[in-house]
A = this chain, B = another copy of it.
Amino acid sequence: MRVTTIHAAGDIRLEERPQPTIDHPAQAIVKVTASCICGSDLWPYRGENPIDAGSPIGHEAVGVVEEVGADVRHFRPGDFVIVPFVHCDNTCPHCRAGITSACVHQGFTTGGQGEFITVHQADGSLVKTDGMPEAHQIPSLLTLSDVMATGWHAAVAAGVRPGSTAVVVGDGAVGLCGVLAAAELGAERVVAMSRHESRQKLAEKFGATHIVAERGEEGEQRILDLTDGIGADAVLECVGTGASMDTAFKIARPGSTVGFVGVPHGVELPIRRMFSKNVGLAGGMAPVRTYLPDLLDRVLTDRIDPGLVFDLTLPLDEVAEGYRAMDERRAIKVLLRP
């Protein structure tokens, strides 16, 4: 089968590899219908994470169950499933507490930008649709494997409440999904910090009531002005860099929480400010499986359309161009069709 691999910074290849096989009775093999490129894939692509040369890449996918292990009870070949990027048994104490991303049987999707993937703990990890979804629903269903669930987690972790003012730092696909999540959770004012016109437009479509194009001190001042100097009730930090985290803590009102979901790179938390202002930090790797039933319902009832984050669709053969387009910010997020 064909699968995307990374060999060095900037070196993405589509290669022929053996099709995965069941090697544990709780596993399933899923034939990928659609996958995509994640902002976190850009860290190794840009040489900012170590690379194991030739390793498969990609972790967001939806598809059709091809084969199941002997212990899998709830899925069978032909089922259309959403594959969370982090796999779980959904029965351990951490799963029962809602933190499925810290499952004691945690596993990850690897080689998601390919034709077939192995799902560990299939019964716990997967969620299926009733029958095959319509073609136009595929992009939104695909976002539930990671990006939309991650934006949702940022909003939940930040404690977005009805009537509140939420600010989203970061206009990548996760940030845009965070805007959608904050609006769905009832924020009265949703501020998207974005300086790219196409992203601003999508943020507004997702429910942003205000756009702040400025960054750094100027952007922070804009948020303070918007909130009469009080600061935001909830801040969604959707980037993961030191600068974005710094902004998040500066605009969060005393007693509020910064919800963070971007894999942290070079972040030093401002603990003195956190202490003096009582601004907390919550979030982390999204417990996708926990949110899936609710999010699936919102997508299938056309309440939300997070698939709009895909502004470029490419055949899997052109995956390298997909990385270039995202790296150069020509595309918000790239959908790949095997």
Chain A residues proximal to chain B, CB less than 8 Å: 93-94, 97-99, 101-102, 157, 228, 230, 253-255, 257, 260, 263-264, 267-269, 271-272, 274-285, 287
Query: Which of B99, B254, B278 lies in contact with A278, CB distance below 8 A?
Result: B99
Closest partner residue, chain B, to A271 (CB atom): B264
Residue of B nearest to A157 (CB): B280
Q: Closest chain B residue to A269 by CB distance?
A: B269
Contact A102 B263 (CB under 8 A): no
Once the chains are docked, how many angstroms separate the CA of A315 from the CA of B285? Answer: 54
Chain B residues within 8 Å of A283, by CB:
275, 278, 280
- If over half of A's interface residues share one DSSP class (helix, strand or loop), that class is named, otherwise mixed; here it is mixed
**What chain B residues lie within 8 Å of A255 (beta carbons)?**
94, 97-99, 102, 287
Residues on B with beta carbons closer than 8 Å to the beta carbon of A94: 230, 253-255
Q: What are 15 A-B pairs at a CB distance below 8 A?
A: A93-B228, A93-B230, A94-B253, A98-B255, A99-B254, A99-B255, A99-B277, A99-B278, A102-B278, A257-B280, A267-B271, A268-B268, A269-B271, A278-B284, A279-B284
| Number of copies of this chain that the complex holds | 2
Contact B97 A253 (CB under 8 A): yes
Expressed in whole angstroms, the minimum distance between the Cβ of A236 and any Cβ of chain B is: 14
**Which B residues touch A254, using CB under 8 A?**
94, 97, 99, 101-102
Min C-beta distance of A101 to chain B, whole Å: 7
- A280 close to B278 (CB less than 8 A): no
List chain B residues, Cβ under 8 A from A285: 275-276, 278
B277 contacts A102, C-beta separation under 8 Å: yes
Verify B274–A281 contact, CB threshold 8 A: yes
Also in contact, A280 and B277, with CB within 8 A (given A97-B254, A271-B264): no
Smallest CB separation, A240 vs chain B (Å): 9
Q: How far is it, in angstroms, between the C-alpha of A260 and the C-alpha of B274 when the chains are bound?
A: 10
Q: Complex formed: what's the CA distance from A264 to B271 in Å?
A: 7
Q: Which residue of A101, A274, A280, A285 has the most chain B CB atoms within 10 A of its CB atom?
A: A280
